[in-house]
Chains A and B, each alone.
Chain A
Amino acid sequence: MADENVKPGLFEKGGKLYWLHSSIDAFDTFLRVPGTVTRKGAHVRDAIDLKRVMIMVVIALVPAALFGMYNVGLQTSLTYGLGWGFFQMFWYGLLRMLPLFVVSYVVGLAIEFGSAQIRGEEVNEGYLVTGFLIPLIVPVDVPLWMLALAVAFSVIFVKEVFGGTGMNIWNPALVARAFLFFSYPSSMSGSSVWVSKTWVPALKGVDAVSAATPLAIAHDGGMAALSDAGYSFWDMFWGFIPGSTGETCVVAILLGAFILVWTGVASWKIMVSSVAGALLVGWLGNIGGATELPCYYQLVMGGFLFGSVFMATDPVTAAQTETGKWIYGFLIGALAVVVRLWNPGYMEGMMLAILLMNTFAPLIDHCVVTAHINRRLKKAQKA
């Protein structure tokens, strides 16, 4: 699709197919850096662009995705006693995950391209990340049509109506998950959705075996139930537990966190403060008798760490000020655990905590900035 194959004029201004130029440009600039030179402002520019930033997030997600694929196979093998080897497990997970990625990218990118066409702008790179995130935060057995619907809903109503990447208020990937959660709760929660037996010929006709997530087990039965089910802290740390594909392995997520922090793409302040918030509330809940779990269990169970590293830190929807990031992150961690501990029905608080704080991020920033203006004025008057 690079433009040497395109007859001059056809896709250029005034050409017959000019209306397609957003899509053509997207492919063209994907393959080759645009030859645009600076017109105003600084005459030379940094090599960084949004494509590079976004691809960094995808790279950071790869360890969690790879482990997740292995774990999909592992959980199936364990639950049904299949005795698979490593490569069999990974291969099965890969096959199960591939359609999810394909649906997520095809539906999402189609809408992105369409909206870019309508607006006559270049296609944004934001969906590269969102499209990779969504399959990692849903149960592996989610029906593909549901996924497609959720993706379409979130891209259209959460991103494009606000003006595309950079303009959205909520994290689109999380809204896709929230959409599924509230529209199709039976496919999103409970104890039978986390382990996939689809596509295993030997299991045809076998009843689905329930395999609850440690978070759910602990929510209902506390520490005793957790150890009865055979989940130790280290199982949860390494990620050999049922759950959404990307969220289980703490090590893989920390590897991603390291990449994000090192490259400066995501804010370490948000990560650290959300962990601090979770630990504090987890500790208070523990000494106050709301839970038997030690506070650090909150970090390794469910989607907490994945959300804290990859979703809360989304630069568009997070707080913009550095002080604001501390507050924003802390409240996410604290709220997520509050929901986990004091909510009878719903045991995973991270998704809603992040979405709620996305909503309040501008308010946090407003307070920080107003305080700063007042302080600056006072200082200047003294000087």
Chain B
Amino acid sequence: MSNHLELKKGLDIPLGGAAALKVHKTVKSGTIALKPTDFKGLVPRLLVKEGDAVLAGSPVYASKTDERILFTSPVSGVVEKIIRGEKRKLLAITVKADDVQKYADFPAQAPASADEFKNLLLNSGLWPCLVQRPYGVMANPDSSPKAIFISAFSTAPLAPDTEFTLGDRTKEIQAAVNALAHLAPVHISVKEEKSAFAKLENATIHVVKGKHPAGNVGVQISHISPILKGQTVWTVSLMHAAAIGRLILTGKVDMSRKVAVTGPLAPTAAYVETLPGEPVAELAAIPREVRVIGGDVLSGENLGRENWLGFFQDQITLVNEGTEREILGWAKPFRFNLHSSSMCYFSWLQKMFVPGKTFDMDTNLHGGPRAFVETKCFEDVTPMDIFPIYLIKACLAGDIDKMEKFGIYEVLPEDLALCDYVDPSKNDIQAIIQGGIDLMIKEMA
């Protein structure tokens, strides 16, 4: 059974540097890092010390608020370094990998009950794959969600093509879906009927068509099963579902994934086979003044050159730092090298004559910050039943009551990321929304 959903609003950003559909290399640098900072709101408690031996799948740290939630090493080896920042904040734990990988043993059988499955996830370090809505924080093992959502595709700029990266792992994904169905009804969104994931069973399949952010799980939830006050929904990325499935089928924690190396400055825009925690410098040769983004250009994390691939990341994007100053830029009739979704520029003309034209965008803000002036531009890129500008203003004002009414439970910053992009007043909308969510978490605790 499948349901159809067609979203009219949205915007596909024509960024250059899409990854070619081939695995260009396998990256095994020998040292990987675990980053507690990958998880929003987590206070970690370290379980190892430097020099300890770990297996792939044995715990390295736990959550201080719920010690059942373990975070495990993706490789076997020796804990090399514990890196702390200001106020001794735990930033990363590096593990020197063995040449031959040894895996911690987990039962290689389909879990028979919800509790059995929960325990398996908690012990194997895969529980953090479950993200709770509202707020986008780690799921609470004691709560019961009304549904679990998996988006089987992404519409973000240059996002990995899941048909290529995971199309051959449907068996594992099916095993994960069967197990997740013990916890709550599972919904999977695919981009077309002939998708490899449209045949998954034990779940409701939704065909969702449209421009970005149609592939965002938050947007899909708001159309399929809107979240009311007091309700929770869990989400799992397709990549993590495959890892959970592999755990169930083989009894091993194997987080390996195909990572898309993308962006106008990627020397080879293609996929690499690797593990989370590999140094980004190993994934791609990083040229000069470049911003290394873990994820896509809209909502990704600014990693810097000396960092490691994050737990949730299956893409890195390399773009130029746009510090150059263009003379009279705003007044030029034509700026052929820049993209604008606004009709005030002539990108529409380029689109007409050169279909599929992409732009080598950089990180320049293209203007100065101003008060909100235009409002419709936000609505045009937000295919949800909310008024973005009112939600944004409620977040700025810190008005809990209004935030609730305007739909704070349904959004994460990534769902309004395009507002960041199109805003002529250059406000940081995602930061404002995150501020609102942080306030909700604090006040509702």
Q: Chain A interface (Cβ within 8 Å of chain B)?
A: 25, 29, 31-53, 55-56, 122, 124-126, 163-167, 262-265, 267, 315-316, 320-322, 369, 372-373, 376-377, 379-381, 383
CA distance A163 to B372 in the complex (A): 12
Given the interface pairs A35-B325, A37-B363, the reply to whether A46 lies near B226 with Cβ below 8 Å is no
Question: In the complex, are the beta carbons of B340 and A33 less than 8 A apart?
Answer: no
CA distance A165 to B373 in the complex (A): 8
Q: How many B residues touch the partner, as a band?
A: 35 or more
* CB contact list, B84-110 vs A, under 8 A: none
Question: In the complex, are the beta carbons of A35 and B323 less than 8 A apart?
Answer: yes
Question: In the complex, are the beta carbons of A33 and B370 less than 8 A apart?
Answer: no
CA distance A19 to B335 in the complex (A): 34
CA distance A98 to B391 in the complex (A): 45
Q: List chain A residues, Cβ under 8 A from B291.
A: 37, 43
Closest beta carbon of chain B to A235's beta carbon, Å: 34
6 closest Cβ contacts across the A-B interface?
A49-B367, A166-B371, A42-B420, A33-B329, A47-B338, A41-B430
CA distance A51 to B317 in the complex (A): 30
Most B-side CB within 10 Å, residue of A43, A122, A265: A43
Is residue B6 within 8 Å, beta carbon to beta carbon, of the partner chain?
no
Is residue B355 within 8 Å, beta carbon to beta carbon, of the partner chain?
no
CA distance A43 to B420 in the complex (A): 9
Question: In the complex, are the beta carbons of B424 and A48 less than 8 A apart?
Answer: yes
Is residue B114 within 8 Å, beta carbon to beta carbon, of the partner chain?
no
Closest beta carbon of chain B to A159's beta carbon, Å: 11
Q: Which of these binds chain A: B33-41, B275-283, B297-305?
A: B297-305
Question: In the complex, are the beta carbons of A47 and B340 less than 8 A apart?
Answer: yes
Question: In the complex, are the beta carbons of B372 and A45 less than 8 A apart?
Answer: no
Residue of A nearest to B301 (CB): A43
Contacts A34-B367, A44-B363, A380-B227 given; 12 further ones with Cβ under 8 A? A29-B368, A31-B328, A32-B328, A34-B325, A41-B428, A42-B297, A43-B302, A45-B365, A48-B342, A49-B368, A122-B369, A264-B377
Is residue B135 within 8 Å, beta carbon to beta carbon, of the partner chain?
no
Given the interface pairs A45-B364, A53-B424, A322-B379, the reply to whether A40 lies near B431 with Cβ below 8 Å is yes
Q: List chain B residues, Cβ under 8 A from A372.
A: 387
Q: List chain A residues, Cβ under 8 A from B367.
A: 33-34, 45, 48-51
Given the interface pairs A41-B428, A164-B371, A166-B372, the reply to whether A46 lies near B343 with Cβ below 8 Å is no
Closest beta carbon of chain A to B29's beta carbon, Å: 25
CA distance A43 to B318 in the complex (A): 10
Residue interface bits B264-277, CB-to-A below 8 A is 1, else 0: 00000000000000
Most B-side CB within 10 Å, residue of A42, A44, A51, A322: A44
Pick from A35, A122, A263: contact of B344, CB under 8 Å = A263
A interface, over-half SS: loop
Given the interface pairs A33-B330, A35-B325, A163-B371, the reply to whether A43 lies near B405 with Cβ below 8 Å is no
Q: List chain A residues, Cβ under 8 A from B406.
A: 369, 373
Question: In the complex, are the beta carbons of A53 and B365 less than 8 A apart?
Answer: no
Closest beta carbon of chain B to A222's beta carbon, Å: 41
Closest beta carbon of chain B to A340's beta carbon, Å: 30
Given the interface pairs A46-B339, A56-B344, A263-B344, the reply to whether A41 lies near B429 with Cβ below 8 Å is yes
CA distance A52 to B341 in the complex (A): 13
Q: List chain A residues, Cβ under 8 A from B342.
A: 46-48, 52-53, 263-264
Closest beta carbon of chain B to A122's beta carbon, Å: 5
Q: List chain B residues, Cβ under 8 A from A383.
A: 225-226
Pick from B225, B323, B424: contact of A49, CB under 8 Å = B424
B interface, over-half SS: loop
Given the interface pairs A33-B364, A40-B428, the reply to whether A166 lies near B335 with Cβ below 8 Å is no
Question: In the complex, are the beta carbons of A47 and B322 less than 8 A apart?
Answer: no
Question: In the complex, are the beta carbons of A264 and B373 less than 8 A apart?
Answer: no
Most B-side CB within 10 Å, residue of A37, A166, A167, A383: A37
Closest beta carbon of chain B to A100's beta carbon, Å: 24
Question: In the complex, are the beta carbons of A380 and B228 less than 8 A apart?
Answer: yes
Question: In the complex, are the beta carbons of A51 and B364 less than 8 A apart?
Answer: no
Question: In the complex, are the beta carbons of B365 and A46 less than 8 A apart?
Answer: no
Is residue B374 within 8 Å, beta carbon to beta carbon, of the partner chain?
yes
Pick from A35, A40, A50, A315: contact of B370, CB under 8 Å = A50
Is residue B150 within 8 Å, beta carbon to beta carbon, of the partner chain?
no
Question: In the complex, are the beta carbons of A165 and B371 less than 8 A apart?
Answer: yes
Q: List chain B residues, Cβ under 8 A from A122.
A: 368-370
Show 19 A/B contacts (Cβ-Cβ < 8 Å), sorted by A. Answer: A32-B327, A34-B365, A40-B430, A41-B429, A42-B297, A42-B420, A44-B361, A45-B420, A46-B342, A46-B421, A47-B335, A49-B368, A50-B370, A52-B424, A165-B370, A167-B371, A321-B387, A322-B376, A372-B387
Most B-side CB within 10 Å, residue of A29, A49, A51: A49
Q: List chain B residues, Cβ under 8 A from A380.
A: 226-228
Residue of B nearest to A123 (CB): B368
CA distance A80 to B135 in the complex (A): 73
Is residue B417 within 8 Å, beta carbon to beta carbon, of the partner chain?
yes
Question: In the complex, are the beta carbons of B421 and A42 less than 8 A apart?
Answer: yes
Pick from B345, B364, B428: contact of A37, CB under 8 Å = B364
Q: List chain B residues, Cβ under 8 A from A376.
A: 226, 385-386, 407
CA distance A48 to B329 in the complex (A): 10
Most A-side CB within 10 Å, residue of B297, B368, B385: B368
Q: List chain B residues, Cβ under 8 A from A267.
A: 376
Most B-side CB within 10 Å, residue of A51, A166, A267, A377: A51
Is residue B13 within 8 Å, beta carbon to beta carbon, of the partner chain?
yes
Residue of B nearest to A44 (CB): B361
Question: In the complex, are the beta carbons of A50 and B319 less than 8 A apart?
Answer: no
CA distance A31 to B330 in the complex (A): 9
CA distance A325 to B362 in the complex (A): 36
Residue of B nearest to A29 (CB): B368
Is residue B390 within 8 Å, beta carbon to beta carbon, of the partner chain?
yes
CA distance A383 to B228 in the complex (A): 10
Closest beta carbon of chain B to A133's beta carbon, Å: 16
Question: In the complex, are the beta carbons of A37 and B343 less than 8 A apart?
Answer: no
Q: List chain A residues, Cβ under 8 A from B331.
A: 51-52, 55
Most B-side CB within 10 Å, residue of A29, A35, A39, A262: A35
Given the interface pairs A36-B364, A50-B367, the reply to whether A264 lies near B343 with Cβ below 8 Å is yes
CA distance A293 to B132 in the complex (A): 64
Residue of A nearest to B225 (CB): A383
